[in-house]
Amino acid sequence: MTIPEFKEKLETIRQTLFPEELIDNNSIEQNYFEVLSPFIATSNDNAYPFFAFREETGSTIEFIINNRVSDLFMVSKDDMYSNDPMVYIKIKEEWQSFEFSVSTLLLTEYVDWIAEKTSNKLEFRLEGYAMYVPIKKHWTQFFNPFSYPNKIWIGKELKSIILIQNEISTLKCMAMDAETLQIAQKLLEEP
């Protein structure tokens, strides 16, 4: 995903869930972290920041995302402005390819981070593929990375977002307000 595509997806997610305008950073030269920065800065919550750790070391950027505190990730600084660099994860003191790009990791983990911070959400265990029937009927598949377990569905009219975490068989639904969340819950419970 290109940097402009990444920014557009973040803006769509934000506009779906939050009515207030985002202060835009229109710098021409941006990398994926710089594009994400205003989206995570709007939360005004230093108790649970998006990044637990982020440091530039030589030709790499190492980081830990608060939702995945046991994982240390790394990307190449050289690729951050032109390509969508692959993410590496440290396993037993060795960097190993994680088989997906930094935009995929940041976008899906941003949605999970929002879910942890919002009060208008519901979460439950996925018990099979029957759940996809109401999801496909009322939400549009927004982001379905091939090699990453998290999938994002969006309901622009319904003002809600669904994050499916296949790795742990969990569905998280976030909505703009409590009334919308109640409607989303009823739709998800449809036979």
pTM of this prediction? 0.90
Cα angle for residues 152, 184, 134 (degrees, 5° grid): 70
Kindly tell me if the per-residue pLDDT of 28 is higher than 90: no
Supply the pLDDT for residue 163.
95
Average pLDDT over residues 99-127: 92
- The two structure tokens encoding residue 183: 């409607």
- % the chain with pLDDT above 70: 92
Answer yes or no: are the C-beta atoms of 142 and 5 closer than 8 Å. Answer: no
User: Residues in the chain, how many?
Assistant: 191
pLDDT of residue 139: 95
> Sorting pLDDT into bands at 50, 70 and 90, what band is 33?
very high
pLDDT tens-digit series, residues 123-154: 999 887 888 899 999 999 999 877 677 899 99
pLDDT, one tens digit per residue, over 43-94 is: 656 678 999 999 998 899 999 999 888 899 999 988 887 789 999 999 999 9
Identify the three-state secondary structure at position 66: helix
Q: What is the mean pLDDT of the chain?
A: 88
Q: Quick one: pLDDT at residue 130?
A: 84
At 6 the pLDDT is 94
